[in-house]
């Protein structure tokens, strides 16, 4: 039997992950009381059972200690059930935004500030996150992209290292993205903005892409950038990094940066066992 435990930060996407697992044929149970977890596992492991894939969602709540949950997980192992632990996460800023949009109270906020509940929950879950088999950060991914990541793990059974990479184009005139890990400036390339027929197009248009990539400097830059990123990724994974934001900027964020971000995404797509997303922050600004 394949047994997956889904936990993580409240608002991190646990329920969405459970729905996706259900679509994959898993028998899913959410928020089972801690004292019933061992009994539930015993029933699932009964001889001649027809259920072969099970997913159990666990939350941190004010009325139960996560130490009790940890003991329950230990009991599961003693029963001979080797589970996989999926931890759903997101940045504090994104979690706060999601709670404000939903107007729900954080389970650990105790009628106080949502920020306090998020901080308390992250401290509580730090140990279990460190032991998780898979960590998915949903801060910048769409449901479609989350499904792709879940398929890689639970359908295709590919090796997974929990690193989510976001390639982002941006315009320096609108500021450097605050969550950038690596920032690259491509303003050294000729600007299509000054070509009348390209001015109102973007790096998502073939005409702009052909113009930018026709310069040898653009190809050379892309080669060196790809080589450096491929060197850095395994070292980031080794250090336990879960999210990497690679930001590529030009003046307005519409032509050169979009083109190079697209090209880097093409080169990295399906090249490693990491998640990969592409974002054009400023592509539509001013158009």
* Structural tokens at position 79: 């029963």
Per residue in 82-129, pLDDT tens?
Answer: 899 999 999 999 999 998 887 777 777 766 788 888 888 898 888 888
- Burial class of residue 125, CB neighbours in 10 A (0-12, 13-18, 19+): buried
In this prediction, residues 148-155 reach a mean pLDDT of: 89
d(CA 226, CA 216): 15
pLDDT value of position 4: 95
User: Which residue has 């059930």 as its token pair?
Assistant: 81
* pLDDT above 60: residue 286: no
pLDDT value of position 111: 65
Question: Are 7 and 34 within 8 A, CB to CB?
Answer: no
d(CA 246, CA 276): 11
Q: What phi, psi does 258 have (nearest 5°)?
A: -65, -45
> Please, which pLDDT band fits residue 180 given cuts at 50, 70 and 90?
very high
pLDDT value of position 208: 97
What residues does each domain of the chain span?
A: 2-154, 165-280
Among 188, 190, 183, CA closest to 168:
183
DSSP-derived 3-state class of residue 38: helix
Per-residue DSSP letters for 171-216? EGGG---TT-SEEEE-TTSPPGGGSTTTTT--TTSHHHHHHHHTSH
pLDDT value of position 258: 98
Q: How many CB atoms lie within 10 A of CB 65?
A: 13
> What's this model's pTM, rounded to 2 decimal places?
0.73
Among 20, 167, 145, CA closest to 86:
20
pLDDT value of position 174: 95
DSSP 105: P
d(CA 40, CA 76): 10
CATH topology of domain 2-154: Rossmann fold (3.40.50)
- What beta strand segments (E) does 9-124 contain? 27-30, 53-57, 83-89
In this prediction, residues 29-41 reach a mean pLDDT of: 87
* pLDDT above 60: residue 287: no
pLDDT top residue among 103 and 170: 170
DSSP-derived 3-state class of residue 96: helix
pLDDT value of position 271: 79
Among positive and negative, which fits the CA dihedral 254, 260, 264, 267? positive
Per residue in 200-246, pLDDT tens?
Answer: 999 999 999 999 999 999 999 999 999 999 999 999 988 878 889 99
Per residue in 53-85, pLDDT tens?
Answer: 999 998 876 455 667 777 888 888 888 888 999
- Burial class of residue 206, CB neighbours in 10 A (0-12, 13-18, 19+): exposed
Per residue in 250-277, pLDDT tens?
Answer: 999 999 999 999 999 999 987 777 888 9
């Amino acid at each position: 039997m394949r047994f997956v435990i889904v936990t993580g930060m409240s608002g991190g996407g646990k329920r969405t992950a459970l729905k996706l697992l259900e679509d994959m044929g898993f028998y899913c149970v959410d928020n089972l009381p801690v004292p019933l977890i061992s009994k539930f596992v015993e029933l699932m492991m009964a001889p001649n059972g027809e259920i072969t894939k099970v997913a159990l969602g666990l939350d941190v709540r004010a009325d139960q200690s996560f130490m009790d949950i940890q003991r329950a997980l230990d009991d599961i192992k003693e029963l001979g059930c080797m589970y996989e632990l999926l931890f759903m996460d997101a940045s504090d800023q994104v979690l706060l935004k999601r709670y404000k949009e939903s107007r729900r109270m954080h389970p650990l906020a105790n009628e106080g500030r949502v920020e306090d509940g998020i901080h308390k929950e992250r401290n509580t879950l730090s140990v279990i996150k460190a032991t998780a088999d898979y960590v998915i950060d949903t801060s910048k991914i769409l449901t479609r992209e989350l499904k792709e990541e879940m398929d890689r793990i639970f359908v295709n059974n590919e090796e997974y290292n929990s690193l989510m990479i976001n390639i982002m184009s941006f315009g320096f005139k609108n500021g450097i993205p605050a969550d950038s890990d690596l920032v690259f400036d491509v303003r050294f390339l000729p600007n299509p903005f000054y070509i009348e027929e390209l001015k109102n197009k973007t790096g998502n248009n073939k005409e702009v892409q052909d113009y930018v990539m026709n310069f040898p400097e653009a190809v050379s830059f892309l080669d060196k950038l790809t080589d450096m990123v491929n060197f850095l990724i395994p070292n980031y994974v080794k250090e336990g990094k879960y999210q990497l934001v690679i930001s590529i900027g030009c003046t307005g964020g519409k032509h050169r940066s979009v083109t190079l971000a697209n090209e880097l995404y093409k080169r990295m797509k399906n090249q490693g066992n990491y998640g990969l997303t592409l974002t054009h922050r400023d592509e539509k600004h001013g158009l």
